[in-house]
Amino acid sequence: MRRLFIGLIAGVSAIVSTGIGAGGAAAAPIPNIALYGHNLATMGDHSLCRGTVNLAIHTPQNKRGVVRVTARSLGFGGDGASWKRNPKCRVLFQTTYTSLRGYALHKWVPATFGPGPGEKTEWDVPTGSGPATIGITTYAVNNPVRTPTGGLVGFHMLVP
């Protein structure tokens, strides 16, 4: 806990000393601590499709208090004739964030990935300026019961 506190203080100092805290937001990586790494393994909506996405965060140009999440596919695969007919895997991202705006707020984003690596989906999370935590996981698409289908990637950060 002490290391996290020292890290947050160092991050605030870095933001203030570079002038980002006083000026406009720039499209740059946010000083953050990524829990569990940046890769998220998940399953999709048909033909036992599964794959891995790499998650990254940054601040979009001229949008204070907003974090942009980029999910970039490392490639998806599936089984059987139905995968050969439709090699697209649909997933549903759940972004849970806690910041000065609220506790455990949710944003849901659908995405579709194919067999080739590099496909990406981006979305904005309105955390507000200051300390924030974002957790990202995936859930089953078109299921009446929210069923988790992937691991968890989490970030602790200071948002300009």
pLDDT at 27: 57
pTM of the shown model: 0.80
Give the pLDDT of residue 31. 80
Q: What is the pLDDT of residue 20?
A: 43
Q: Cα torsion at 118, 134, 127, 7 (round to 10°)?
A: -110
Proportion of the chain in helix, strand, coil states, percent, rounded to 5: 15, 50, 35
Distance CA(5)–CA(56), nearest Å, equals: 23
**How confident is the model at residue 112, as a pLDDT?**
97
pLDDT of residue 28: 62
Q: Which residue stretches of the chain have pLDDT < 70?
A: 1-29
